Amino acid sequence: MLDPDAVVSSALVKAMADMIEHRGPDDEGYYVSGQVGLGFRRLSIIDLQSGHQPLSNEDGSIWIVFNGEIYNYQELRTLLLGRGHVFRTRTDTEVIVHLYEEFGPACLEKLRGMFGFAIWDQKTRTFLLARDRVGIKPLYYHLSDTSLIFGSEIKAILADPAVKREMAPELIDRFLTFLYLPGEETLLKGIRKLAPGHYLLSRDGKTIQKQYWDLGFAGLPQSRSLEDAEGELVSQLAEAIGLHMIADVPVGILLSGGVDSTGVLSFAVEETDKKISSFTIGFAGAGVADERPYARLASDTFGSQHHEMTISADDFAAFLPKYVWHMEEPVCEPPAIAMYYVSKLAKGYVKVLLSGEGGDEAFAGYSNYRNLVWLERAKRGLSFLKTPAARGLSLADAIFDLPRVAKYVPLMSDHFPAYYYSRTSNPHRTTGNRLGTVYSSAFLPTIDREQSIQPVRTLQARVQDQNPLDAMLYIDTKTWLPDDLLIKADKMTMANSIELRVPLLDHKILEFAASLPPSFKLRGATTKFLLKKALTQRIPKEIRDRKKTGFPVPYETWLRKDLKDMVWGILTDRKTINRGYFRKNAVEDLLRANSNGSDYSKEIFSLLSLELWQRTFLEREQVALH
């Protein structure tokens, strides 16, 4: 649309929309006029009969395609009606159109929800792309001298034959460092992610990107007590979850048997007189952690209609090609496969799912946060004994065989937050990632370690004076959360035409959590202190006090045993090695070491994902695993 003389092909717009039919099997719609083309696939959730898109204002001068949900749309609709706007539907989509008429791009500040949308303003010849504050909904774009192409998924953009399928090899090390791709770049040259909390504006051949929201850690007023904060959190949870229950179709919940999802269920049942369906998953094989008893306990406690299933190593392997196809970016996220199967189960009962995703990033739920806060306290207390302290940790590791202790030894002399990159990366970055020795002699010299970690450098600068806990929470909320966890959540549920909602990532809850002093989130050995306190009287003690496990997908065992031959076959075959990135002997050594007890499961799964991704998206193979 940057070329004023361009004419968009209706057939191309339809082909792009057809590539993401799974995201919206209920309806399709198109608007094509000269240099502008908008295509849409709809998953009907609100106003099922009249929510057709693309949708315009009264005089047809402003058009929108919108993916997501605006949870305060009824309040905004009332505001806009009072200002004289005329509505043809009762959808949240039309609210955005009129809100844009009233406020322009500043309308984004008034929206409460998850979204990726595009608006074409014919009067001002302005094109607006916008993404929600946290990145719950994905939005990709390709910008050239003559065009701006966008989509909710990369495969929609690739439907345009003018977009080349070119690898960005300089980002391989970034992926293998973090085990996902933080930042706005993708492994496909020229295709970028619109950053969360940002919008892109194109007018008169010029394109700019601006940030409209950031997460600030201001702190509660000193007069606020822990009890006051607890009461406010309960009130905010009730409001957010109530808003997330709004739908004209059945709503269910993903139950992990943990604090967050059980807490969400406890509020959700108060918002409806209908029985809520709940869903969980387990894994076949001996010695596998099983979340299902805790999920059943949660279901029994709150009276949900519970459903569960079991998947095996064969199920896991069978879905791998589709995992790569739907994820579109290499990501080391084996739980995504469990997410796919459990949402496939849910599809038979509901169209909307709620989950507890985000509670850990908002309220400090990971043991890593606790361990590194303790480490920083120890460093301050032993500032004159850093080297002896490090030696003491090394001695403890040698005597007690504590690998979890050993990984913190190098950090005793490092400055925080310079060593903190993300939950899924090795905290100590000076030696690069664990796969550095696998790179080929030709590829290794091309790697720029600083370029690999560049996306977090700006974030580190923003939090260099922040306390360690809030610094970690900020970096994770800007990187691991949108570029790993939320991509997984969106892509795997939408693969089954299911909408996933994440009420704990409501921006008002995030802002409230960020305002809390660190001691309200992490107290002693207790993570998520305030959230657990707020839920004490609501959820069973067995769930509240249990050790965090998440989706315990036993992929480590499967890669060593059940799927060993398949993994060896793909990672050591001629096609993989001839790409020139990795040394065959080193890859074999890595696989052998993993089989003999050293844990390289994440690295191996990442290499597997990378190779399958190249075959799928660069070479357009129909990958079949045997």
**pTM exceeds 0.85, yes or no:** yes
Residue whose pair of structure tokens reads 């999802």 in the numeric block: 261
Closest to 420 (Cα-Cα) out of 363, 355, 376? 376
Q: Is the pLDDT at 49 greater than 80, yes or no? A: no
Mean pLDDT of 89-98: 95
User: How many alpha carbons fall within 13 Å on the CB side of residue 145?
Assistant: 0
Mean of all residue pLDDT scores within the chain? 90
> What pLDDT score does 398 carry?
43
Distance CA(172)–CA(175), nearest Å, equals 5
Q: Is the pLDDT at 397 greater than 60, yes or no? A: no
Q: 433-487: per-residue pLDDT in tens? A: 777 789 999 999 999 989 999 999 999 999 998 999 999 999 999 999 999 999 9
> What pLDDT score does 622 carry?
85
Q: 108-121: per-residue pLDDT in tens? A: 999 999 999 999 99
Mean pLDDT of 329-342: 94
> What pLDDT score does 512 carry?
96
Q: 258-273: per-residue pLDDT in tens? A: 999 999 999 999 999 8
Distance CA(3)–CA(430), nearest Å, equals 46
Q: Is the pLDDT at 395 greater than 80, yes or no? A: no
Closest to 550 (Cα-Cα) out of 326, 286, 263, 260? 260
Mean pLDDT of 533-546: 92
Closest to 121 (Cα-Cα) out of 89, 155, 150, 96? 96
Distance CA(330)–CA(15), nearest Å, equals 24
Mean pLDDT of 343-364: 96
Residue 326: strand, helix, or coil: helix
> What pLDDT score does 604 carry?
95
> What pLDDT score does 411 carry?
72
Q: Is the pLDDT at 105 greater than 90, yes or no? A: yes
Task: Classify each residue of 152-168 as buried b or exposed e, where b means 16 or more C-beta atoms within 10 Å of its C-beta.
Answer: bbbbbbbbbeebeeebe
Domains, in order of start, for the chain: 10-211 (3.60.20.10), 555-618 (no CATH)
Could you tell me which residues come within 8 angstroms of residue 115 by beta carbon, excluding any fewer than 6 positions away? 66, 67, 68, 69, 70, 96, 130, 131, 132, 137
User: Which tokens in the block code for residue 607?
Assistant: 């290499």
> What pLDDT score does 245 carry?
95
* Per-residue confidence band for 399, with pLDDT thresholds at 50, 70 and 90: very low
Mean pLDDT of 119-137: 97
Question: In terms of pLDDT, which residue wins out, 439 or 290?
Answer: 439
Residue 121: strand, helix, or coil: strand
> What pLDDT score does 383 carry?
61
Q: 162-195: per-residue pLDDT in tens? A: 999 999 999 999 999 999 999 999 999 999 999 9
> What pLDDT score does 623 carry?
79
Measure Cα distances from 332 to 321, 323, 443, 589 in Å.
14, 11, 22, 20
Report the length, in residues, of the chain.
626
* Per-residue confidence band for 234, with pLDDT thresholds at 50, 70 and 90: very high
